[in-house]
Chains A and B, each alone.
Chain A
Amino acid sequence: MPPKYHIHTSRTANRFQLITKSGIIAWDEGCLKCVRCVKKDCVYKVYEKRGIDTRQMLESLDSVCMDCFRCVQGCPNKLIHKGLNPSYKELGDHYWTPEIISGLWYQAEAGRIPVSGGGYGGNFSGPGFDAMWTDMSEIVRPTRDGIHGREYISTTVDIGRKVMALEFDQTGALETTPPPVVEIPQPILFDLLPWSPPRKGINLAMLEGARSLGTFAVIRQSEFIPAMEEYLPNIVLYVDGSLSDIDPDILRRLRLIEIPYGKGVIASQKVLKERHPGLVTIIRMELNPYSSSNVLRLTAEGAEVIHLVADEYGLEKSGKPLFIKERVRKIHLHLVDKGVRDQITLIAGGGIAMAEHVAKLIICGADALSVDIPLLVAMECRVCRRCREGISCPVELETIDHVWGASRIRNLMAGWHNQLLEILGAMGIREVRRLRGEMGRAMFFENLEKEIFAALGKRG
């Protein structure tokens, strides 16, 4: 058995103070000067370690405080208050919620799964991925070896076109030439970022992270710089210019390349294949209501991999947009119906914000996923989108050290990988390839609603 895929993590400190859910407001006026001040009794030494970050005018109090409320309750003159931090509520937006962002920060810093404790109080359904539950029936049968011990669960996926049958000549020699396939140890690639401050350091951090994880990062041809040459085996070069502009030496060292969907896309794939037969070509396609028929046509024409991209909220481009999980389900089932699903690799991305989304989208039919904004959040992005408006980044993302950024990305991916293992283990599935399209092992809110309530309104 091959060695287990394991991501080595190391605690990587934040550069800026965290925006915490609650904050301390402690007033000095009215202090009774007690012999033993409650601030001195803080078990976490919050008040002793007190410091101020002048870049943000934030005190260390909030990020060090562990919410035990001992000082709040103990001060005889009630001079210490603890309140919800309004800055926390303002993080992100309706989709990239403060809870998601702070969860990603925690994982990027510690490399561990966030544990909230105290059970889950709801909601039990919501929009998007929250309207889907996975079947965790095998969670009652934990193996003695454990999923992080000797039990082997594979998260490896193949990127490329597959042959459905091998053909041999009369002498028994193989006649079929299998198309090139690239194997990645976890079903996640790093995608183009929808927005960011100047991203030289960010791109290098993503590449360094991708290399250490054995996966790939998509880099625009126009943003490719000589410093990236050492990462070529882990780059998916996105062709945003002309095919003829790609240096033959660079092309030869690439394993994956991405071209935008449009007229003549299969002809472009052919040109690339002639120049480098070992290259796997990905076709990047915006998710829209016509995606099912377009994917089917491209599959018939010989496409190898299709990368379906939704917007940053996971919505397709349409007047009445479907969420990514719904559209990917439709595409997957359409291909299954036509008997061609296994020929092609589907990568889906856009709106992937949490580890559970990885498993859920794979269940809906994606082979692998592309991730974008969480990588920025790993590097402390607050999803304020100021950079998109040309305003300076509050956490100075343009100045990051790529080694630090890569370590944060690696930590986040380790957290996600461990959660994927937990889900697979709880579902009793031993490899992620078998999870693909396993819709029978999941429940969808709209289906349940229909099953339960549709019959109630019928007459007779």
Chain B
Amino acid sequence: MDQRGTGFTRAILFCRQLDPNQDVNRRAIEREMGGSIRFFPLPCSGRVDPLYLMRALESGADKVYLITCPEGACRYREGNLRAKKRVAYTQGLIEEIGFARERLELIVPSAEKRVTIDELTRDILAREAAIGTSPVKGK
């Protein structure tokens, strides 16, 4: 869905190993937030390509989050480490084209406490986005 519209929009890409019951857990937030939040479960956060993140920004998301599984918990051993590198690389790319690097954020949950996708999302929503709407949307 094209995210161009009114209001601040967030795209959340996340590793689904993080929360086995993610499909049910995110429904309450989806209902509350409607089109201003989009979830994209990934089989592994290491699958994310800089192109994914750029495309999410291009399609009108004001802020893109990538949530990996905790360090050391990747079922493909180092998928989340690779994701970290790719986010850093993409942040450099978007900065070059005049976007704030904060439009892209990596979230690595702690390995000590198991968290669900809705808890993580509510944490994100509770924080100030500290960034305006995306220049892609125009003025």
Contacts and interface: CB of A to CB of B under 8 A. Distances in A.
Q: Does B associate with A?
A: yes
Residues of A contacting B: mostly: loop
B125 interface: no
A389 interface: yes
Contacts of A392: 1, 30, 34-35
B85 A29 contact: yes
A48 to B, nearest CB: 15
Given A391-B27, A392-B35, A25 B13 contact: no
Contacts of A83: 43-44, 76
Contacts of B82: 27, 29
Interface stretch (A54-62, A116-124, A186-194): A54-62
18 contacts: A23-B47, A25-B43, A25-B46, A25-B79, A27-B46, A27-B82, A52-B55, A55-B1, A56-B40, A57-B11, A57-B40, A57-B56, A83-B43, A86-B16, A87-B16, A90-B23, A391-B27, A391-B31
A434 B112 CA distance: 65
Given A25-B79, A27-B79, A57-B42, 8 more contacts: A23-B47, A25-B47, A29-B85, A55-B2, A56-B40, A57-B56, A391-B27, A396-B1
B75 to A, nearest CB: 8
Contacts of B52: 52, 57
A132 B107 CA distance: 51
B51 interface: yes
A272 to B, nearest CB: 41
Question: Chain A interface: which size bin?
Answer: 20 to 34
Nearest to B16: A86
Nearest to A53: B55
B59 interface: yes
Interface string A416-438: 00000000000000000000000
Given A56-B40, A396-B1, A25 B76 contact: yes
Question: Which one of B42, B43, B46 has the highest number of Cβ atoms from chain A below 10 Å of its Cβ?
Answer: B43
A273 interface: no
A83 B15 CA distance: 14
Interface in A98-150: none
A283 B2 CA distance: 45
Contacts of A27: 46, 79, 82
A339 to B, nearest CB: 51
A54 B46 CA distance: 18
Interface string A269-310: 000000000000000000000000000000000000000000
B105 to A, nearest CB: 16
B58 interface: yes
A31 to B, nearest CB: 12
B97 to A, nearest CB: 17
Interface string A152-163: 000000000000
B41 interface: yes
B92 to A, nearest CB: 16
Interface in B37-76: 40-44, 46-47, 49, 51-52, 55-56, 58-59, 76
Interface string B1-33: 110000000010100110000010001001100
Nearest to B60: A54
A110 B34 CA distance: 34
B41 to A, nearest CB: 6
Interface in A350-397: 384, 386, 389-392, 396
A384 B30 CA distance: 13
Contacts of B11: 57
Given A52-B51, A57-B56, A392-B35, A87 B27 contact: no
Interface string B78-90: 0100100100000
A85 interface: yes
